[in-house]
Amino acid sequence: MSTAPSTIATPAELGRVYQNFIGGEWRSSGSGQTFASTNPARTREVVGYYQKSTAADLDAAVAVAHAAQPAWAATPAPERGEVLLRAALLLEQQKEALAALMTREMGKVLKETLGDVQTAIDVAKFMAGEGRRAEGQTIPSGLREKFTMTVRQPLGVVGIITPWNFPLAIPAWKTFPALLAGNAVVLKPASDTPLLSLKMAELLHAAGLPAGVCNVITGPGGTLGDALASHKGVNMISLTGSTEVGRRVGAICGRDLRRCTLELGGKNAVIVLDDADIDLAVSSVSWGAFGTTGQRCTATSRVIVHETVAQAFTERLAAAAERLHIGDGLDPAVEMGPLVNVGRVAAVHEYTEIGQRAGAKLVTGGAPPTGDAYSDGAFYKPTIFADVSPDMRIAREEVFGPFVSILPASSYEEAIQIANSTEYGLSTAIFTNDVRAAFRAMRDIESGLVYINAPTTGAEIHLPFGGMKASGNGHRELGSKAVEEFSETKSIFVSYPARNS
């Protein structure tokens, strides 16, 4: 064991060694090994070294979670909510410093990392209020002298696996409702961005969360993620990740009949009809496609434009993309930061080559930017392809970068057909001034999230979040239903017949 680090790492602390947070203490892995997380804007800068955890470390985290969970479940729900409220206030106090840390480790610009931290704050406050809401229902019985109701009970130990693109928001919006429901948590964050999850656990502990109720272990997803998903002591897995990983984790959980919630990928479309406000559509697509450098599950990846306005739209979007200031996200003037690592640069560029080989027209971008400011970073230009057909790979596969395919359509019906033609169904937007088309789209679009005259990004924490088809397995995060996802529902029947005299 060692002394806990200060809550906020300053630039002088960059490159230090961080430990796992298990049982309210900082513990080194039994492996004796660490791995590095680097700043994607300056890849020679090491943000931190983290524990390369093993199955034995996972066993220890699950064991302390099991030991701590019954007492936490016995704590009244309003008291559990008060812990989350105190955590929200601590997050507020340290918002700017946490955002700067996140920009260093993940790369997205400060405006976005401040929003990421704010989402965690908002979820904590929302879930704190859920502690004083009714848990179940009272339901009329069909029989005389009988009372029926439902109650909600915790599952036990929840395993949470989170991605690197929202290093605090996604761990928060899974962990907080799981805790409010009375569960203990073992969280494994992505290896590219583990720091904010460790900070979150530390802040929860400072807010009064009992030791062992929230534990964070770091390590490789391929081994540690599988071990967590298959652990006999874990009652539920909540994963946000790629559809490929989701299928694997879902198969592991299905084998043991373990509850599993999956929030997966997307190939999100914006439909621009001929009566749309083109300038509004361009600004929305630019933000939806190139914000977070296109590294959101809800990022705009396809734009299906009515053929009569396709040229005007494409020209204006290309101009907007070329104006974006690319660079280190810590610079307030920068509008788009780097990809999360240099491997992602190669992966995105591969899709540029795929699009060119397929005959699509490269409008702008398609390469890393040049110059000394970009030589040590994982940067890639905003990339736009036109003349894309629905059967091309760039129109069907998730790129996860600043990459947009423009597909022409001759009618509303064709646009909807193209939008629904992929295996995904997470987020879709339509731009139109025709109220009839807007309401038809609400019905016809096969997505869990539908936006009218707004980008495909921008979920609000009090509404359910999740997708259809291969974008998930039907569960929803956020909103008042989130606590139910981390709970068991029990039906209770009480008979009170009169006594025989």
State the distance between the two ends of the chain, measured CA to CA, in whole angstroms. Answer: 67
Give 336's contacts (C-beta < 8 A, 6+ positions apart).
109, 290, 291, 293, 324, 325, 326, 382, 402
Cβ proximity of 235 and 157 under 8 Å? yes
Q: Which entry of 112, 297, 335, 477 is annotated as an active-site residue?
A: 297
| Secondary element (H or E) of residue 20 | strand 20-22
Of the residues 130, 202, 263, 335, which is catalytic?
263
Quick check: helix, strand or coil at residue 425? Answer: strand
Using the 8-state DSSP alphabet, how is residue 499 labeled?
Answer: P
Between vectors from CA 243 to CA 365 and to CA 230, what angle results, nearest 5°? 140
φ, ψ dihedrals at 470, nearest 5°: -80, 10
On the 0-12 / 13-18 / 19+ scale of CB atoms within 10 A, 87 is: buried
- What's the token pair of residue 490? 């029990």
Active site residue 263: yes
CB 486 within 8 A of CB 155: yes
* Other C-beta atoms lying within 10 Å of the C-beta of residue 44: 8
The structure tokens listed for 58 are 């996972």
SS3 150: strand
Residue 208 φ/ψ region, left for φ over 0, alpha for ψ in the -120 to 50 degree band, beta for the rest = left
Q: Return the exposure string of 17-26: e unless at least 16 CB atoms fall within 10 Å of the residue's CB, then b.
A: ebbbbbbbbb
- Exposed, middle or buried: residue 46 (CB in 10 Å: 0-12, 13-18, 19+)? middle
Scored b (16 or more CB within 10 A) or e, 348-362 reads bbebbebbeebebee
Which helix or strand (DSSP H or E) is residue 262 part of? strand 259-263
Of 70, 88, 81, the residue nearest 212 (C-alpha): 70
Spell out where 300-440 has E strands. 300-306, 361-364, 383-386, 403-409, 424-425, 427-431
The catalytic site residues sit at 263, 297
